[in-house]
Amino acid sequence: MALKQYKPTSPARRGLILVDKSALWKGKPVKALTEGKRKTGGRNNKGHVTSRGIAGGHKQKYRYIDFKRRTWDVAATVERLEYDPNRSAFIALITYEGGEQAYIIAPQRLAQGDKVIAGKKVDVKPGNAMEIGQMPVGTIVHNVELKPGKGGQIARAAGTYVQVVGRDRGMVIVRLNSGEQRYVRSDCMATVGAVSNPDNANQTFAKAGRTRWLGKRPLTRGVAKNPVDHPHGGGEGRTSGGRHPVTPWGKPTKGARTRHNKATDKFIIRSRHAKKKG
């Protein structure tokens, strides 16, 4: 879908650039596949703010998405494509031959009336899901499982994808958008194609209120605060912090590595931090 610009009828509309959603379903979602969703405001069960910058936002209903795709060898028809306020990607409502309905993440080039199917090995076409070990090398996929039966965890956001680049020791080697290469078990499920709405990152919201509708509050820079409030605060005149970027509690941020997972380090062949040869 293309980007849509607006006539400058007001200051907020002057720079507004949004994704054109005219081809999406304009009605309500399927009631049986939705659930009420309560806002947390960034607070935990004690009412303390544990995630800053979260509040407000438009009312939303949560749509149940089938990330597992374990209804094998039953063809389904795409009824329509829908907007989902809970994610950047569009979703597709599919109806199986038995009449059962489900929502899936919509890949690019999937249209109303198309047929999709999941199984151990099926045709390589957008929307079809199968074990990643059965896919040809070079296939573009999304919604990739890391544990069989757990459901897709990798490449679910708008425009993202993973490429199958090889096989080794009964495992599949995949390359992520970040440049990381890692092993994935060959019996994990993945869906063919790249995720829909690739223009999501090219939008310009043009006013603060539009981000408030998304539940995001303003962020005050540390260098604009007093020393009592932030490690970057204070100083005569304008300063740039005088130290490496840290959080209000003094922990490194903006690029500091926080990943400590020895259990899965062995599956990473090439780190996303590895220097690119050029």
The ranges assigned to domains in the chain are 3-200
Q: How many helices and strands (H and E) does the chain possess?
A: 3, 16
CA distance 163 to 171: 14
Q: What's the predicted TM-score (pTM) here?
A: 0.91
| Under 8 Å between Cβ of 188 and 67 | no
Closest CA relative to residue 206, chosen from 15, 41, 66, 43: 15
For domain 3-200, the CATH class is mainly beta
167-224 pLDDT, tens digit per residue, is: 998 899 999 999 999 999 999 999 999 999 999 999 999 999 999 999 999 999 999 9
pLDDT over threshold 70, residue 233:
yes
What pLDDT score was predicted for residue 169?
87
pLDDT band at 265; cut points 50, 70, 90: very high
What pLDDT score was predicted for residue 257?
87
Which one-letter DSSP state was computed for residue 68? S
CA distance 176 to 162: 5
CA 65 → CA 84, 111, 116, 201, distances in Å? 10, 18, 15, 22
Task: Please calculate the CA angle 239-240-246 and round it to the nearest 5 degrees.
Answer: 125
Q: How far is CA 165 from the centre of its chain?
A: 22
Rg (CA), the chain: 22
pLDDT band at 241; cut points 50, 70, 90: confident
| DSSP β-ladder status, 129-131 and 118-119 | parallel
CA distance 74 to 37: 31
Cα-Cα-Cα-Cα dihedral sign, residues 228, 231, 232, 235: positive
CA 172 → CA 45, 129, 188, 268, distances in Å? 41, 16, 10, 12
pLDDT band at 258; cut points 50, 70, 90: confident
3-state percent breakdown (helix, strand, coil) of the chain, nearest 5? 10, 30, 60
Task: Please calculate the CA angle 194-6-9 and round it to the nearest 5 degrees.
Answer: 160
